[in-house]
């Protein structure tokens, strides 16, 4: 039961594009989806993962706040080709840049958390039961800086940091493959 609420809680943070909500806001959002969930259940779930995923505290108005602070990151060096799959000293996830939507049949980059370093990192963080798509979205979402005005929260949203960034080289190659390159071609080298 806690895993379902855990995934629900993470989804709410992502849907609202914030990294901090009150326990009451989380409970209300889950109940709005037709499920029963008390603030005590929210606290129990977030306490179970507080060291690896959440920061819990009371604000100056004595409101119990939950801040999502995932201590698992995606290895930027791996994405840049500077860290390999077998690096034991690396404590960050090694995943395909297109994790969750990779369409390459012969892609040799990791697409799951079941092997090697990725599994070890999730075990150490007690995050093995978290939905992989939600977990990677939490480490690398595209987040709006404007708050969700439909939220009843009195807590101001704080954007989550973006990790994945398209390199200029990849972007340039994609345009060339599609035949839409913006490069100027010397007319002398074109044969008809």
Say whether both 51 and 65 belong to one domain.
yes
Per-residue pLDDT 10s for the chain (192 aa) are 444 688 899 899 989 989 899 999 999 999 998 998 899 999 988 888 767 788 889 999 999 999 988 888 888 888 888 887 665 678 888 888 888 888 888 888 888 887 778 888 888 888 887 888 888 887 754 332 333 434 444 344 444 444 444 444 444 444 444 444 444 433 344 444
Both structure tokens of 96: 């395909």
Does a structural domain hold residue 141?
no
Q: Are residues 154 and 63 in the same domain?
A: yes
Quote the domain boundaries for residue 51.
1-71+146-184
| CATH number of the CATH domain containing 8 | 1.10.10.10
Residue 192 lies in a domain: no
> Do 65 and 108 reside in the same domain of the chain?
no
Per DSSP, the residues of 47-108 read: HHTTTTTEEEEE-TT--EEEEE-----B-HHHHTTSS-TT-TT--SB---TTTTS---TT--
In a domain, 140, yes or no: no
Whether residue 12 sits in one domain with residue 44: yes
Please check whether residue 157 lies inside any domain of the structure: yes
Which strands sit side by side in the sheet containing 54-58, from one edge to the other? 20-22, 64-68, 54-58
Give the global pTM.
0.62
Closest CA to 3 of 40, 50, 45, 36: 45
Do residues 16 and 65 both lie within one domain? yes
């Amino acid at each position: 039961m806690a895993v379902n609420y855990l995934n629900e809680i993470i989804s709410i943070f992502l849907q609202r594009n914030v990294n901090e909500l009150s326990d009451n806001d989380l409970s209300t959002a889950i109940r709005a989806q037709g499920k029963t969930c008390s603030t005590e259940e929210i606290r129990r779930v977030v306490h179970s993962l507080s060291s690896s995923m959440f920061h819990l505290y009371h604000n100056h108005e004595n409101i119990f706040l939950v801040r999502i602070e995932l201590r698992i990151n995606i290895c930027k060096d791996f994405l840049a080709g500077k860290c390999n799959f077998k690096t034991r000293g690396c404590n960050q996830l090694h995943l395909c840049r297109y994790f969750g939507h990779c369409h390459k049949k012969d892609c040799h980059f990791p697409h799951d958390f079941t092997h090697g370093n990725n599994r070890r990192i999730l075990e150490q963080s007690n995050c093995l039961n978290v939905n992989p798509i939600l977990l990677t979205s939490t480490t690398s979402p595209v987040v709006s800086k404007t708050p969700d005005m439909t939220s009843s929260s009195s807590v101001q949203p704080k954007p989550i940091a973006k990790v994945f960034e398209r390199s200029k080289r990849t972007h340039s190659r994609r345009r060339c493959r599609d035949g839409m390159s913006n490069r100027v071609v010397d007319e002398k080298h074109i044969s008809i």
